[in-house]
């Protein structure tokens, strides 16, 4: 499954638009609530003013005839409230006849004698009404004036306001997204400059540096950190170049001389058969060493040129048997006991390079042979563990001190004097680690000084699909 990458500009644009949209929703909701509250208060004030005017009218008409009082009440009701006005006694009886059929059929709320003024909502059909119950005293009698006013106007205003907010969504989102994209692109423009410069820097121009703007922000720190990293890489490449020159000078000459002498000796017809076989072994080993030297030099130049090894199914059992057969001769010469143990059902096939795997095992065996004194023992085992192939080389030699153990795989590192007495350049174990990493394997060591060492290499199962099979560069 391909990983999808989303640019920072797009993410900032989405975030900016989302925050702007959320702010707009909060603002719109707050404004709608405020408008609803304002319209409700205005409706309350309108009903309260009507109630006060009707109360004054009824008090003025106390001395009028009943017919005139009823007529004034009806005229006021039709003029101000569309006839939705009633006056009740504390017992809930109408003091005046209903001014209209609508008022007579209206579901007025029940009278609460303890209440003075109260507002309520009543819905009749698809219409919503705001109802006021106002208590007043006429003469010495308490009466309750109730009147209703439709809220259709308020609902129309609120609906229009909400629809206007919804209609503005596309425009606001477009404007906010455009502003967010413009701001993000302007803010990330230095990142584009850093990216372009970084892409132009290769192994051949590591002396170049990224532009640093004196802004004091995170981008300045990023550019400075990248420049420090480039400086470290430049120093590492210089060390690799020096290593290449030294290896070429120190190894090619003696190796070529040894092979040439052996080849000349093979041309001598007076050489006995045993010596001839020895010279052939020298020529073969010199050829193998020459190949190894070329590989090491290639690795030293890996930062400058692409380098890869094609991995294919390889039998670990065959590799173990072949290399252990060669190493057994050296073990016999040093009076060392060498035991080879292969699991009855090992994970035989791994993805790898046969010559590199042989070299890996030979490095581990050579290390054990060098640092194990007679009478000593070397155990080589190939087992299956949790679906993985595990190769282990164990000896009971001089071991490795705890202070040296973290650096044992470092290039050119030489351990304490007890181990430094053995000839070597300190390249074997670093190469072994590189070969293990090239095969996506894990190499580790457990050791105690004067008690021996155990090197373990765990290979991934060949049934697992391995992607991106590219060897890593030799660790420095």
Higher pLDDT, 301 or 42: 42
> How sure is the predictor about 300, in pLDDT bands with cuts at 50, 70 and 90?
low
Buried b (16+ CB within 10 A) or exposed e, 187-199: ebebeeebeeeee
216 conformational bin, left if phi > 0, alpha if psi -120 to 50, beta if neither: left
Q: How confident is the model at residue 195 (pLDDT cuts 50, 70, 90)?
A: confident
Domain 312-459 has CATH 3.10.129.10: no
pLDDT at 36 over 90: no
Nearest to 47 by CA among 124, 123, 116, 133: 133
pTM above 0.75? no
Q: Using 50, 70 and 90 to split pLDDT, how confident is the model at 294?
A: low
pLDDT at 2 over 50: no
Lowest mean pLDDT: which of 88-97, 164-173, 185-194, 257-266? 185-194
**pLDDT grade for 391, boundaries at 50, 70 and 90:** very high
User: Measured in Å, how far apart are the chain's first and last C-alpha atoms?
Assistant: 34
Give one DSSP letter per residue of 270-293, joined into a string: TS-HHHHHHHHHHHHHHHHHHHHH
pLDDT at 463 over 70: no
Q: How sure is the predictor about 291, in pLDDT bands with cuts at 50, 70 and 90? A: low
The Cβ-side half-sphere exposure at 197, using a 13 Å CA radius, reads 17
DSSP string across 45-88? HHHHHHHHHHHHHHHHGGGS-HHHHHHHHHHHHHHHSTT-EEEE
pLDDT of residue 466: 42
Report whether the peptide linkage leading into residue 375 is cis, meaning its omega lies within 30 degrees of zero: yes
Q: Is the pLDDT of residue 429 over 50?
A: yes
Kindly give the interhelix angle for 273-300 and 218-247, rounded to the nearest 10 degrees: 160
Q: Is the dihedral of CA 150, 155, 156, 158 positive or negative?
A: positive
CATH architecture of 8-167: 2-Layer Sandwich (3.30)
Q: Average of pLDDT values for 422-441?
A: 74
CB–CB of 85/76 below 8 Å?
Answer: yes
118 contacts 110 by C-beta, under 8 angstroms = no
Q: How confident is the model at residue 307 (pLDDT cuts 50, 70, 90)?
A: very low
Give Dmax (Cα) for the chain. Answer: 161
Six-digit token string for 69: 């009082």
Helix (H) or strand (E) holding 144: strand 141-150
pLDDT at 227 over 50: yes
What percentage of the chain reaches a pLDDT higher than 90? 11
Calculate what percentage of the chain has a pLDDT beyond 70: 85
**Residues with Cβ < 8 Å from 62, sequence gap 6 or more?**
69, 138, 139
> How much is the pLDDT for 319?
92
pLDDT greater than 50 at residue 302: no
Helices of type H across 81-151: 101-105
Average pLDDT over every residue of 421-446? 77
Q: For the chain, which residues make up each domain, given as ranges?
A: 8-167, 218-300, 312-459
Q: How many helices (H) and strands (E) does the chain have?
A: 13, 11
pLDDT for 245: 62
pLDDT in tens, 319-363: 999 999 999 999 999 999 999 998 877 777 888 888 889 989 998
Q: Indicate if the pLDDT at residue 444 is higher than 90.
A: yes
CB 197 within 8 A of CB 208: yes
402-411 tens-digit pLDDT: 888 888 887 6
In terms of DSSP bridges, do strands 117-124 and 127-138 run parallel, antiparallel, or are they unpaired?
antiparallel
**What is the structure's pLDDT at 381?**
92
Return the higher-pLDDT residue of 158 and 446: 446
Average pLDDT score, the chain: 79
* For helices 8-60 and 169-187, angle between their N-to-C axes, nearest 10 degrees: 140
In whole angstroms, give the CA distance from residue 141 to residue 135.
11
Residue pointed to by tokens 């290499």: 457
Specify whether the CB–CB gap between 439 and 356 falls below 8 A. yes
Is residue 48 over pLDDT 70? yes
């Amino acid at each position: 499954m391909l990983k999808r990458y989303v640019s920072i500009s797009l993410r900032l644009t989405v975030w900016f638009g989302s925050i702007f949209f959320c702010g707009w929703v909060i603002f719109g909701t707050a404004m709608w609530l405020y408008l609803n509250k304002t319209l409700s208060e205005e409706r309350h004030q309108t009903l309260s003013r009507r109630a006060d005017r009707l109360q004054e009218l009824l008090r003025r008409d106390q001395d009028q005839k009943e017919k005139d009082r009823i007529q004034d009440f009806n005229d006021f009701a039709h003029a101000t409230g569309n006839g939705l006005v009633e006056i009740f006694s504390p017992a809930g009886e109408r003091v005046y006849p209903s001014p209209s059929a609508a008022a007579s059929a209206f579901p007025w709320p029940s009278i609460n004698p303890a209440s003075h003024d109260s507002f309520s909502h009543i819905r009749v059909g698809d219409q919503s009404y705001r109802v006021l119950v106002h208590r007043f005293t006429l003469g010495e009698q308490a009466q309750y004036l109730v009147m209703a006013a439709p809220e259709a106007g308020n609902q129309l205003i609120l609906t229009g306001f909400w629809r206007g907010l919804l209609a503005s969504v596309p425009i606001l989102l477009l404007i906010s997204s455009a502003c967010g994209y413009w701001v993000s692109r302007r803010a990330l423009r230095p990142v584009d400059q850093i990216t372009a410069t970084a892409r132009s820097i290769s192994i051949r121009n590591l002396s170049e540096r990224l532009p640093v703007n004196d802004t004091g922000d995170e981008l300045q720190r990023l550019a400075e950190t990248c420049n420090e990293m480039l400086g470290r890489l430049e120093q590492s490449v210089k060390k690799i170049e020096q290593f290449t020159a030294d290896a070429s000078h120190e190894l090619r000459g003696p190796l070529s001389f040894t092979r040439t002498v052996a080849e000349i000796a093979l041309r001598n017809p007076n050489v006995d058969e045993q010596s001839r076989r020895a010279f052939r072994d020298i020529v073969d080993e010199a050829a193998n060493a020459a190949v190894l030297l070329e590989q090491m030099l290639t690795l030293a130049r890996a930062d400058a040129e692409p380098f890869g090894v094609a991995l294919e199914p390889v039998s670990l059992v065959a590799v173990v048997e072949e290399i252990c057969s060669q190493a057994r001769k050296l073990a016999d010469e040093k009076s060392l006991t060498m035991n080879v143990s292969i699991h009855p059902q090992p994970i035989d096939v791994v993805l790898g390079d046969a010559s590199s795997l042989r070299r890996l095992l030979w490095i581990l065996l050579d290390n054990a042979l060098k640092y194990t004194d007679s009478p000593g023992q070397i155990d080589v085992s190939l087992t299956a563990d949790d679906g993985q192939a595990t190769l282990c080389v164990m000896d009971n030699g001089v071991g490795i001190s705890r202070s040296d153990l973290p650096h044992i795989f470092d290039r050119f590192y030489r351990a304490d004097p007890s181990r430094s007495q053995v000839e070597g350049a300190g390249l074997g174990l670093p190469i072994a680690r590189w070969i293990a990493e090239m095969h996506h394997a894990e190499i580790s060591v457990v050791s105690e000084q004067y008690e021996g060492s155990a090197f373990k290499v765990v290979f991934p199962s060949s049934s697992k699909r391995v992607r991106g099979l590219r060897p890593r560069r030799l660790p420095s």
